[in-house]
């Protein structure tokens, strides 16, 4: 069921024309900043992949991929990507990228099962990136280093857009607070995972929650993750499991936390086998992608996705993601937004 958060006394800082110009400024500037921080080169990416290769991202494992038959290939089915988590790693190998360097691309997807609201759309656009790493870098210290580089690019972009449009004021904190999902559970044992995210983000402003996908001490996951891209079971030097996480910020306009990026160190052979067994997905070992990983033909890597429309939303102080992207919305939501001065593109 679609739900709409109605912010009190909302008024857009920019009109439609200014918004469109600002969206382009943010996307161009942030991509350049991210590419410089992480040493990424831009590559061309697919909108769809063949079903049955194990190349599509399963997200939480319950979302249905949009698919269609290919007439000229004996009705073989293609799937619109959910994200490019696995495709990027395969591409790192194909391009023979050296450690310390990586790739970035514009990922566009259709997620037909999304519950539409201020932050969730049928259309997903994000910067998908992936970088080759060494075995010595597979640790929490390196993960935090990469998160801080990404956040630096976000802060730099915020400064640029505030300079360009004085009606937009700086609000992001200077630093990211790091916390493991188990520590978060111990801090707020009576709250749901979403309520915990709101509580910690309200306190610190920008937070990276680590170790997402594995079961915590209460027997539940903070959130679900597919077993074959992020490493959420390997132990780390802080005494917890998980080499991945989500970057969130506190967003005063909607009075809630917002996830900007999901990322992590990718599974090696041992983590893949362990996580496939934990989730009962061991049949995937026979798929094209998984075979190449188990045969050692894919490099160790770290990667993730950063929401383009979401980043534009927070930096332009918008109330609805439909103000920074073009999608389909329920008619009652469009009507409500129009009455509230929320101009959906």
- Residue 156's nearest CA partner among 28, 245, 246 is 28
- Phi–psi pair at 227, nearest 5 degrees: -85, -5
For residue 4, is pLDDT > 70?
Answer: yes
Catalytic, 183? Answer no
Average pLDDT over residues 163-181: 97
For residue 61, is pLDDT > 60?
Answer: no
Q: Kindly tell me the burial class for residue 13, based on how many C-beta atoms sit within 10 Å of its own C-beta (0-12, 13-18, 19 or more).
A: middle
N- to C-terminal Cα distance for the chain?
21
Which of 126, 261, 309, 325 is catalytic? The answer is: 126
Confidence category of residue 81, pLDDT binned at 50, 70, 90: confident
Decide which of 57 and 314 is more confident. 314
Which of 37, 259, 284, 336 is catalytic? The answer is: 259
Lowest mean pLDDT among 73-77, 99-103, 248-252: 73-77
Catalytic, 197? Answer no
Confidence category of residue 280, pLDDT binned at 50, 70, 90: very high
For residue 221, is pLDDT > 50?
Answer: yes
Asked whether 230 and 209 are in contact (CB, 8 A), the reply is no
Which of 83, 234, 262, 309 is catalytic? The answer is: 262
For residue 60, is pLDDT > 80?
Answer: no
CATH number of 16-339: 3.30.930.10
Which of 12, 25, 33, 57 is catalytic? The answer is: 57
Phi-psi category of 172—alpha, beta or left, where left has phi over 0 and alpha has psi -120 to 50? beta
Buried b / exposed e across 303-326, counting CB within 10 Å, b at 16+? bbbbbbbbbbbbbbbbbbbbbbbe
Which of 79, 89, 111, 181 is catalytic? The answer is: 111
pLDDT, tens digit (0-9, with 9 covering 90-100), for 97-144: 999 999 999 999 998 888 899 999 999 999 999 999 999 999 999 999
pTM for this prediction: 0.94
Confidence category of residue 64, pLDDT binned at 50, 70, 90: confident
Which of 79, 228, 231, 246 is catalytic? The answer is: 246
- Phi–psi pair at 189, nearest 5 degrees: -65, -20
* Crossing angle of the two packed helices 16-38 and 308-315, in degrees rounded to 10: 120
Q: How far apart are CA 318 and CA 253, in angstroms?
A: 8
| Residues above pLDDT 70, as percent of the chain | 98
Instruction: Quote the mean pLDDT of the chain.
Output: 94
Domain ranges of the chain: 16-339
Catalytic, 336? Answer no
Catalytic, 57? Answer yes
């Amino acid at each position: 069921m679609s739900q709409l958060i109605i912010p009190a006394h909302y008024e857009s800082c920019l009109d439609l024309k200014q918004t469109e110009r600002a969206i382009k400024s943010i996307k161009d500037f942030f991509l350049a900043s991210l590419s410089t921080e992480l040493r990424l080169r831009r590559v061309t990416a697919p909108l769809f992949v063949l079903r049955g290769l194990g190349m599509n991202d399963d997200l939480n494992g319950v979302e249905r991929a949009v698919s269609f038959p290919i007439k000229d290939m004996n009705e073989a089915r293609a799937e619109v990507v959910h994200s490019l988590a696995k495709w990027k790693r395969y591409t790192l190998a194909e391009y023979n990228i050296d450690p310390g360097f990586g790739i970035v691309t514009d990922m566009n997807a259709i997620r037909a099962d999304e519950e539409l609201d201020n932050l969730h759309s049928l259309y997903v656009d994000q910067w998908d990136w992936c970088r080759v790493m060494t075995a010595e870098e597979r640790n929490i210290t390196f993960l935090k280093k990469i998160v801080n580089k990404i956040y630096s690019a976000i802060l730099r972009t915020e400064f640029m857009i505030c300079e360009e449009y004085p009606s937009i004021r700086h609000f992001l904190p200077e630093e990211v607070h790091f916390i493991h999902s188990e520590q978060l559970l111990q801090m707020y044992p009576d709250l749901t995972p979403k309520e915990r995210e709101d509580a910690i983000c309200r306190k610190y402003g920008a937070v990276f929650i680590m170790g997402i996908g594995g079961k915590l001490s209460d027997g539940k996951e903070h959130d679900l993750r597919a077993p074959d891209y992020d490493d959420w079971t390997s132990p780390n030097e802080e005494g917890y499991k998980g080499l991945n996480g989500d970057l969130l910020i506190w967003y005063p306009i909607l009075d809630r936390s917002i996830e900007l990026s999901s990322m992590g160190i990718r599974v090696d052979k041992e983590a893949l086998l362990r996580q496939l067994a934990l989730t009962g997905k061991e049949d995937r070992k026979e798929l094209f992608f998984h075979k190449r990983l188990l045969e050692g033909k894919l490099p160790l890597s770290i990667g993730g996705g950063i929401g383009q429309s979401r980043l534009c939303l927070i930096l332009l102080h918008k109330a609805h993601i439909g103000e920074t992207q073009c999608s389909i919305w329920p008619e009652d939501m469009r009507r409500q937004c129009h009455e509230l001065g929320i101009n959906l593109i």
